[in-house]
Amino acid sequence: MINDQFEFGESVTICDIYPKNKALIGVEKDRVIFQGDKLVCPSVMAFSKRFVGALNSVLESYFYDEKLTVRMNEQLYTDSSLEGPDHGLNIFVAGSSVPETVVSKICHCARYYCQEIISQSELGGAEKVDSPETFLEILADEIKKYRTDMADKNIKVPFYIKFEDGRRDYDYVYQGRYDEGVVAEQKTMDLSGFSRPIGLNMDTNVVVLQPVDEDNMALNKQIEFKVKSGSHMREVIAALYHCRILAFRGIRTTSRSKRENPHVLQDIKMTDKSNDLF
């Protein structure tokens, strides 16, 4: 979408970032009433600035002659009938003229950045994109710095990203916690078998499984798995709904991290076997 929000020429939207919290109170004839402290919380703004900075690094290094820049605008959506977000950030590339070929490449870089800064971003459902080889050195450095700075921190306000060319409600979702930093040593134990689905937490990206034997009888204790794929979460939801047994594969990682070592789900599929014990 080309718009005229850039004062020196044209601009083209790359994506929109939507915090999960609400800020809008109401819209009257001559005013908009909102909670100022709810508008784009500091943590989402910090991500957005780093995101914009990474894209500008690509523009400055590879498209300097085009005289383009990536910017962001805070926006408040006044249509009270909307059930979705009521405020957010519009990320756009701007200049006196914005070539479509550059926009395409910057959007590719933007998607790759969003995909790589946290392992759980796949929960938004966006298709995995290949690394943009030409710009990979700059992007990899920016991604590494962000992951290092945010390692193991809570995402206080969940947020969503929707790309202009996306076909889904949201392409990337960030919630729960950023990934742990790289540790010196890690050992893994493979886990696999069949299980009953016990429950799930969408906010923390965790599913609870009860391993079972061939007669559906419980084996050992229930296991809480960290989920890194939206398709895996959907399989668990489907199994709960249809009362089916799941076939799962995961790992238990032990490391020198101070936090409890998580179980990480690698694959899970709903079977035809009923979860009924009788």
DSSP code for 215: T
Nearest of 79, 80, 20 to residue 44 by alpha carbon: 20
Specify the higher pLDDT residue, 251 or 107. 107
User: Alpha-carbon distance 209 to 199, whole Å?
Assistant: 7
Nearest of 267, 245, 250, 252 to residue 194 by alpha carbon: 245
- C-alpha 177: how far from its chain's center? 11
At residue 256, the pLDDT reads: 46
- Inform me whether the pLDDT recorded for 161 exceeds 50: yes
* Cβ atoms 183, 254 nearer than 8 A: no
Check residue 225 and give left, alpha or beta (phi > 0: left; psi -120 to 50: alpha). beta
Q: How many other CB atoms sit within 10 Å of the CB of residue 4?
A: 9
Check residue 246 and give left, alpha or beta (phi > 0: left; psi -120 to 50: alpha). beta
User: Alpha-carbon distance 222 to 203, whole Å?
Assistant: 20
User: Alpha-carbon distance 162 to 2, whole Å?
Assistant: 16
Specify the higher pLDDT residue, 119 or 243. 243
pLDDT digits (tens, 9 = 90+) for 169-225: 667 888 888 877 654 345 567 889 999 999 998 877 899 999 999 888 888 789 999
Q: Enter the CATH code of domain 186-274.
A: 2.40.50
Q: Average per-residue pLDDT in the chain? A: 81
Mean pLDDT across 151-159 = 85
- Inform me whether the pLDDT recorded for 45 exceeds 70: yes
CA geometry: angle at 15 spanning 14 and 16, to 5°?
Answer: 145
Where are the domains positioned within the chain? 2-174, 186-274
Mean pLDDT across 69-89 = 76
- The tokens describing 24, both together, are 């809008």
Give the dihedral sign, CA 36/41/46/51: negative
Mean pLDDT across 247-262 = 70
- Inform me whether the pLDDT recorded for 277 exceeds 70: no
Nearest of 154, 131, 153 to residue 143 by alpha carbon: 131
Check residue 102 and give left, alpha or beta (phi > 0: left; psi -120 to 50: alpha). alpha
Mean pLDDT across 43-65 = 92
DSSP code for 177: B
What stretch of H or E contains 143? helix 136-150
- Inform me whether the pLDDT recorded for 15 exceeds 90: yes
Question: 172: Cβ–Cβ under 8 A, 6 or more apart, which residues?
Answer: 114, 115, 121, 124, 126, 160, 161
Mean pLDDT across 70-98 = 80
- C-alpha 191: how far from its chain's center? 26
